[in-house]
């Protein structure tokens, strides 16, 4: 099993299109998303992507996901028509990166995962 270097940041880039529902695809073949994640000591610290601004393509992706969920018997959420309407009105070219504070705390603690940095851990009720 591959692992990340203990003393360096690792950037994973160019995700398969199926793993980036809201990201633009880069030109070329095979189609990959303009998306990345950054890891330190195996902990995901951040992820970012170039936003998909094509409302018709976003609708197609959402509908494909709904079809897959329906066929596999999973919960089918409603289409986010407000979001799709906003895209249809025009979204400026944009990108973003989300950094997890809980992940930075876990890294500072030297923890193996984010559970050590969480104030409240969900525990299923006992029966």
* Strand positions, DSSP E, 19-70: 25-26, 32-40, 43-50
41 within 8 A of 6, measured Cβ to Cβ: yes
Domain ranges of the chain: 9-53+92-117
- Tell me, what's the pLDDT at 2? 65
Tokens at 92, concatenated: 């400026």
What is the torsional sign of CA 86, 87, 92, 97? positive
Contact 97, 46 (CB under 8 A): yes
Q: What is the mean pLDDT of residues 85-106?
A: 89
Could you report the per-residue pLDDT of 73-83, keeping only the tens digit for each? Answer: 999 999 999 99
Query: Model's pTM, two decimal places?
Result: 0.72
């Amino acid at each position: 099993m591959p692992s990340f270097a203990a003393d360096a940041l690792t950037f994973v880039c160019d995700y398969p299109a199926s793993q980036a529902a809201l990201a633009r695809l880069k030109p070329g073949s095979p189609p990959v998303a303009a998306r990345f994640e950054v890891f330190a000591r195996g902990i995901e610290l951040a992820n970012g992507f170039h936003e998909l601004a094509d409302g018709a393509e976003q609708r197609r992706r959402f509908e494909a996901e709904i079809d897959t969920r329906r066929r596999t018997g999973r919960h089918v959420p409603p289409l986010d028509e407000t979001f799709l309407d906003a895209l249809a009105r025009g979204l400026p070219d944009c990108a973003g990166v989300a950094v997890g504070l809980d992940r930075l705390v876990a890294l500072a603690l030297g923890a193996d995962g984010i559970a050590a940095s969480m104030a409240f851990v969900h525990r299923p009720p006992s029966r």
